């Protein structure tokens, strides 16, 4: 039902950006064309049109408060991930006074943050050549949380905490070793660190750069 609603919205969409108009007219039929051009995605309908099978999942809903001169204001912070389980993943966090609007906002924002993850077979123990894991080891931090993701042989699965595993699964990764340091109980920090690590691979434009990097 949600997928049909997204497609319906895309059909009624009146694009405001040049990229959006090119997608609507059919000049751009693959989201990889946008990534290769280095253009930002400013309209969520672009993603709905080019990636209609995108799934979304709420990772965390927490109550946050801040003091004002008059009283204490409470909002809900929602962290969510989107992905097609085939090389595309997005992540975002949003706040609102009510949970439902926060979820709607964060899913739209996560779609605008979608990246293309280069999958491969970077494990020296495997060498099957199929895109089931990462092409190289990646590490990233968010706050005090640090995540290290290493390519694993086919069949191992994803050895990770629930949050890290979910983000990797939505990206289409089937096998990986992961190691975490710091404040690992923070869902937001762990998810963002994982997403940042995947971003590092997505930013590699030339395949020759992978060969030049240390995968151990």
Domains of the chain from N-terminus onward: 2-50 (no CATH), 55-116 (3.30.160.20), 138-212 (3.30.230.10)
pLDDT value of position 3: 56
- φ, ψ (nearest 5 deg) of residue 116: -100, 120
Task: Give the C-alpha distances (Å, rounded to integers) separating 48 from 2, 36, 90, 108, 173.
Answer: 11, 19, 13, 10, 22
Q: Measured between alpha carbons, how far is 205 from 37 in angstroms, rounded to an integer?
A: 10
Residue 132, pLDDT score:
94
Rounded CA separation 89/168 (Å): 8
Full DSSP string of 129-197: -SSSB-SS-EEEEETTEEEEEEE--TTS-EES-HHHHHHHHHHT---EEEEEES-TT-HHHHHHHHHHH
Per-residue pLDDT of the chain (216 residues; tens, 9 = 90+): 455 555 555 568 899 999 999 999 999 999 999 998 888 999 999 999 999 999 999 999 999 887 676 777 889 999 999 999 999 999 999 999 999 999 999 999 999 999 999 899 988 888 788 899 999 999 999 999 999 999 999 999 999 999 999 999 999 999 999 999 998 999 999 999 999 999 988 776 554 544 444 433
Element of type H or E holding 10: helix 2-11
């Amino acid at each position: 039902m949600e997928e049909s609603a997204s497609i319906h919205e895309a059909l009624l969409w009146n694009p405001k950006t040049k990229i959006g108009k090119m997608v609507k007219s059919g000049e751009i039929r693959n989201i990889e064309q946008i990534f290769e051009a280095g253009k930002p995605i400013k309209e969520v309908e672009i993603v709905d049109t080019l990636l209609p099978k995108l799934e979304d999942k709420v990772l965390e809903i927490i109550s946050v408060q801040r003091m004002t001169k008059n009283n204490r204001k409470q909002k809900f912070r929602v962290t969510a991930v989107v992905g097609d389980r085939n090389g595309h993943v997005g992540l975002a966090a949003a706040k609102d006074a009510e949970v439902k609007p926060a979820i709607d906002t964060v899913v739209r924002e996560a779609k605008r943050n979608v990246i293309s993850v280069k999958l491969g077979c970077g494990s020296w123990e495997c060498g099957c050549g199929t895109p089931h894991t990462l092409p190289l080891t990646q590490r990233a931090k968010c706050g005090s949380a640090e995540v290290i993701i290493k390519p694993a042989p086919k069949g191992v699965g994803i050895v990770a905490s629930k949050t890290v595993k979910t983000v990797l699964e939505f990206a289409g990764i089937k096998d990986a070793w992961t190691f975490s340091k710091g404040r690992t109980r923070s869902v937001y920090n762990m998810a963002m660190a994982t997403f940042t690590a995947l971003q590092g691979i997505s930013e590699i434009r030339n395949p020759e750069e992978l060969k030049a990097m240390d995968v151990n």
